[in-house]
Chain A
Amino acid sequence: MIYCYYISVCLILVILQTTIMPHLPLLNRCYDLLIPFIVYLGLSRPARESIPCVLFMGFIMDNLSGSPFGLYITTYLWLYVGVRGITKMLEVGKRLLIIALLVVTGVLIENFIFFATFRILGSQSQLTAEAYHQVVYQLIWAIGTGPLMLLLFRNMQRRLDVGLKGFFNHKDKRKINLQATAHGQILKNR
């Protein structure tokens, strides 16, 4: 169930940034929306849940993008590992400033890996001023919306957990009731 939720979030974010955002004037320079989600996974979810999700997201992005295959998987994995490392060193909790910094760092890490790849592959010897502007825009967006997105993911997850817990509790209670009724019937028959 939780994987379905992760896949849905991932697909929604990917579709949002490939179909809707490129047509909107200011949002077309926004950062990769999957970064806050990876930061969220690194901060709040266990590794057995997060790593398959991170790989899935990287795979989808690698397929949709014109990047060399594996670039997004690598970037997301490094990002995830970095966030896990930071959470071991720092107590992040609900501190918005640190969360914002984590998202900003995530954006920087992604761009750094991309630039390093361009440099290694030799696809462009120098980076234009527009590229730097692009990074600055992305960072501004990340500072502004990153923590909000993280809070949104947390809230959604909490609601999902409560809903699932309620659903399974209800199911368990019904099962127990049914068992008790059957047991009572057997005793009565005896």
Chain B
Amino acid sequence: MVLIVGVIVLIAVNIIVISINSRRYTTFGFERIAISFVAPFQELVTRSIDFIQGIWQHYFNLVTVSKENYELRKRLNQAMEENNKWRELELANNRLRDLLNFQKRITKRVVAAEVIGKDPSAWFKTVIIDKGKADGLTKGLPVVMPEGIAGQVIEVSNHYSKVMLIIDRNSAVDALVQRSRARGVIKGESADRCRLNYVLRKHDVRVGDTVVSSGLDDVYPKGLRIGRISDVVKRNSEIFQEVTITPFVDFEKLEEVLVVLDLQKHDLVSQQ
């Protein structure tokens, strides 16, 4: 009986204390000790969990990001490659458009060819093009560019030909100074410039004058641009002046050329 009463009293006291405490928050200092004691461990464990969780999540994130990065890089490379391809196509298109316009301007029949190889030696300036006998090319045909004369076909196989550029030492083009009509022969110097030989001292030749083909060599059509005079030296003791010419064609960037076909010969070949 006493036990039952005691339990009831205890429950009542308990309820009273809880209800009082719930209305007014009071601390006794033990909580602080407990917190101070437990919290560091809690913190440690929580942080560790967070850390591991972080690593775990980051790892997966990194794996995903890495994969994504790889994919994006791949796509970027592809895009760059595509972009480069389009740019190349655009440039080729422009060049071919120029060639086409030039082809319309020139009255003779021409064949467009691509440069596929350059001379293995630094001392000779020849290129190999991808057109040959099968396309109507023969030895001696002139090779031109929209900017001016490039060279002459010196060897022909079935599908390829060798072209000697005007900057080669063995090349010679009969030329005229456009303004004064002074005549001379352009010889290559194996660098990217030529020399206009046999121009008499009395002739009026100035730096900046344009030099064109005279058509007298029976190779190059008359009036095709060759280059601009970059230097003139007149020596009192010599009959001729030393004239240096910078060609209009950039031979370092030669990619496509036009071969001017000899119409008569070509017609004969096609008739045969």
Chain A residues engaging chain B, CB cutoff 8 angstroms: 14-15, 17-19, 22, 29, 32, 61, 64-67, 114, 118, 123-124, 128, 130-131, 134, 138
Contacts and interface: CB of A to CB of B under 8 A. Distances in A.
A131 B193 CA distance: 13
Contacts of A66: 119, 121, 124-126, 154, 162, 164, 168, 170
B121 A131 contact: no
A64 B120 contact: yes
Interface residues of B, number: 22
A66 B120 CA distance: 9
B169 A118 contact: yes
22 contacts: A18-B118, A18-B128, A19-B116, A19-B117, A29-B122, A32-B120, A61-B120, A64-B128, A65-B121, A65-B124, A65-B126, A66-B119, A66-B162, A66-B170, A67-B123, A67-B124, A114-B121, A124-B169, A124-B189, A130-B191, A134-B123, A138-B122
Contacts of A131: 123, 190
A18 to B, nearest CB: 4
Contacts of A134: 122-123
A17 B117 CA distance: 9
Contacts of B118: 18-19, 22
A124 B128 CA distance: 24
Q: Which of A17, A32, A67 has the most CB of B within 10 A?
A: A67
Nearest to B192: A130
**Main SS of chain B's interface residues?**
loop
Nearest to B254: A22
A118 B190 CA distance: 12
Interface of B: 116-126, 128, 154, 162, 164, 168-170, 187, 189-191
Contacts of B128: 18, 64
A124 B162 CA distance: 22
| 6 closest Cβ pairs, A-B complex | A66-B126, A66-B124, A123-B169, A18-B117, A22-B118, A130-B191
Contact of B117 (A61, A64, A124): A64
Contacts of B117: 15, 18-19, 64
B122 to A, nearest CB: 5
A107 B175 CA distance: 36
Contacts of A15: 117
Nearest to B125: A66
Q: Which of A18, A61, A114, A131 has the most CB of B within 10 A?
A: A18
Contact of B119 (A64, A118, A124, A130): A64
A19 B130 CA distance: 13
Contacts of B164: 66
A67 B121 contact: yes
Nearest to A19: B117
Q: Which of B116, B123, B128, B191 has the most CB of A within 10 A?
A: B123
A74 to B, nearest CB: 13
Contacts of A130: 191
A18 B120 CA distance: 5
Q: Which of B119, B162, B164 has the most CB of A within 10 A?
A: B119
